[in-house]
């Protein structure tokens, strides 16, 4: 798989964590402060105990056999963006992914990272 295919798969894997949740739509143009607060309250409270965590997301991506070429900084960015798309604040950083990678290496089946494959084309002139 190419790096871009791996990134797309990583995004789909993380979206699978939110199978019962729809991405947050943008606020309607006629929204009031009260209606927005009601929407936030409704979104957060019932799902508070079931929403996915960063550790679970990191584990999914580090253990996936099809995603060994995604660099650690990109894993953190993918997690932040997907969580943000579902309205969850996420402060996942490169250092947190590296921390999980080093501290959970005996518990998790972490796939060893490798450099992305580069296609070399010969210029025949």
Per-residue pLDDT of 40-86, as tens digits, reads 666 665 544 567 889 999 999 999 999 889 999 999 999 999 998 88
Per-residue pLDDT of 75-123, as tens digits, reads 999 999 999 888 888 899 999 999 999 998 888 989 898 887 777 777 7
Burial-class residue 71 by CB neighbours within 10 Å (0-12, 13-18, 19+): middle
CA dist 92 to 20, 40, 99, Å?
Answer: 22, 22, 11
Q: Are 14 and 82 in contact (CB under 8 A)?
A: yes
């Amino acid at each position: 798989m190419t790096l871009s295919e791996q990134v797309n798969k990583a995004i789909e894997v993380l979206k699978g964590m939110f199978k019962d949740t729809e991405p947050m739509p943008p606020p309607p143009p006629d929204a009031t402060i009260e209606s927005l607060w009601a929407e936030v309250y409704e979104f957060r409270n019932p799902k508070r105990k079931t929403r996915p965590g960063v550790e679970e997301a990191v584990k999914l991506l580090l253990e996936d056999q099809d995603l060994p070429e995604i660099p650690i900084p990109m894993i953190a960015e993918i997690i932040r963006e997907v969580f943000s798309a579902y309205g969850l604040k996420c402060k996942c950083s490169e250092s947190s992914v590296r921390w999980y990678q080093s501290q959970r290496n005996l518990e998790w089946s972490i796939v060893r990272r490798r450099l992305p494959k580069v296609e070399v084309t010969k210029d025949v002139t």
